[in-house]
Amino acid sequence: MNKKSVLYLENGEVFQGLSFGYEGETAGEIVFNTSMTGYQEIITDPSYNSQIVLMTYPHIGNYGTNDEDIESSKSAAKGLIARNFCDFPSNHKSSLTLNNYLIKNNIVGIHNIDTRKLTKIIRNEGAQKCIITSMSDNIEYFKNKLMETPDMIGNDLTKKVTCNEIYEIEGKKDNKRVFVYDFGCKDNILKVLNLKFGLNLIVGPCDTKPKIIKEINPDGILLSNGPGDPAASKYAIENIKEILGYKPIFGICLGHQILSLSLGFKTFKLKFGHRGANQPVMNILDSKVEITSQNHGFAVENKNIQDVEITHINLNDKTVEGIRSKKLKCFSVQYHPEASPGPHDSYRYFKEFYEML
């Protein structure tokens, strides 16, 4: 962990630090997350596929990792950046240090750098590609490596993180059945639907055809979170268009964006995205403010669509955070009502979906 490592940004900035986690090299889009806790949930969230996560909270690793607080069975983030890295966790649930967890899951880390300066660069200049390596210090090599790294705009990543085939999760006998489109679904979404509400779940790949959905004949459909540019998932948008109005639909994060695109909205890339557990959102319908957990780099354009109303607005930048259509029996939110470790201000939308069924 004392081996020298380099972080090179697309804008030419170089940060010298120390390596931790898996020793090697990684490249991807650098994004920052303002959460104080939840680093294990973050690095296992499929929505972070192809991204390198900068934690703005300076002290990372102090409670270790465990087998419960994961959002997918495999690592999602390509790298982790921290100011102060702690390898001596104090937590009765901890089964593995963060360092060993990163090694086990092939995630490259760098620490002992000025994360405040780095965050300001991303905030002012926008998300950009970067490389972390302890294998080289050649600037020309870094430039060539980043040229080979795909841009996020136009990049469909859902097929990299979706399940391979349809599977079922049994709920309470005679309870409702929900088909879950897996665009990179977090485990906690499935747990809430199955364990809290007793729903029987049929989870399917991101490109499941509407014909198969209708053969299954579920009581409702959930569009999960996931990574990449929503507009690039053209097959998903066309599939959702075919089942609008068929059964109640609830979309979360990427699912919200895909539902919006299928209804006629457009999406655009945010300068540096919304990532953290402290994003304020106003519910226009009741004027209540929710503190939300978010992780997305794209947003839905604010425009008027017949039979659709915008229900939620981000109070920081006024971007669209929720929509609904009573006529088509669908609604969605840009953030995570199932958020683990929290906050849980928005948990009620699962209940709303359950009642729609």
Domain extents for the chain? Answer: 4-148, 158-356
Instruction: Determine which one of 111, 256, 274, 336 is catalytic.
Output: 336
What average pLDDT does this structure show over 151-175?
A: 95
What average pLDDT does this structure show over 96-103?
A: 96
Q: CA–CA separation, 68 vs 172, rounded Å?
A: 23
Mean pLDDT of the chain: 95
Q: CA–CA separation, 192 vs 327, rounded Å?
A: 26
Q: CA–CA separation, 17 vs 161, rounded Å?
A: 31
pLDDT greater than 70 at residue 1: no
| Residue 36 token pair | 């104080």
Q: In terms of DSSP H, where are the helices of the chain?
A: 39-43, 98-104, 115-125, 139-148, 158-161, 187-191, 210-216, 234-243, 254-263, 348-356
DSSP state letter for 231: G
27-70 pLDDT per residue, tens? 999 999 999 999 999 999 999 999 999 999 999 999 999 988 99
Question: 4-148 in CATH: which number?
Answer: 3.50.30.20
- 338 part of the active site: yes
Cβ contacts of 33 within 8 Å, gap of 6 or more: 42, 53, 54, 55, 56, 275, 276, 295
Instruction: Determine which one of 29, 41, 321, 338 is catalytic.
Output: 338
73: confidence class by pLDDT, cuts 50, 70, 90: confident
9-25 pLDDT per residue, tens? 999 999 999 999 999 99
Minimum mean pLDDT range among 65-79, 118-132, 239-253: 65-79
Q: CA–CA separation, 25 vs 42, rounded Å?
A: 20
| Residue 57 token pair | 């909270």
Q: In terms of DSSP H, where are the helices of 44-149?
A: 98-104, 115-125, 139-148
Instruction: Determine which one of 253, 290, 321, 330 is catalytic.
Output: 253
Q: Are 178 and 327 in contact (CB under 8 A)?
A: no
Give the model's pLDDT for residue 66: 94
Q: CA–CA separation, 184 vs 205, rounded Å?
A: 9
Q: CA–CA separation, 209 vs 228, rounded Å?
A: 21
Q: What DSSP string runs through 122-152?
A: HHHH--EEEEEESS---HHHHHHHHHHSPPS
172-203 pLDDT per residue, tens? 999 999 999 999 999 999 999 999 999 999 99
| Residue 44 token pair | 């296992």
- 253 part of the active site: yes
Give the model's pLDDT for residue 216: 97
pLDDT greater than 80 at residue 313: yes
Cβ contacts of 310 within 8 Å, gap of 6 or more: 284, 302, 320, 322, 323
Q: CA–CA separation, 239 vs 232, rounded Å?
A: 13
Question: 158-356 in CATH: which number?
Answer: 3.40.50.880
Cβ neighbours, 10 Å, residue 169: 16
Distance of CA 301 to the CA centre of its chain: 19
**pLDDT above 90 as % of the chain:** 92
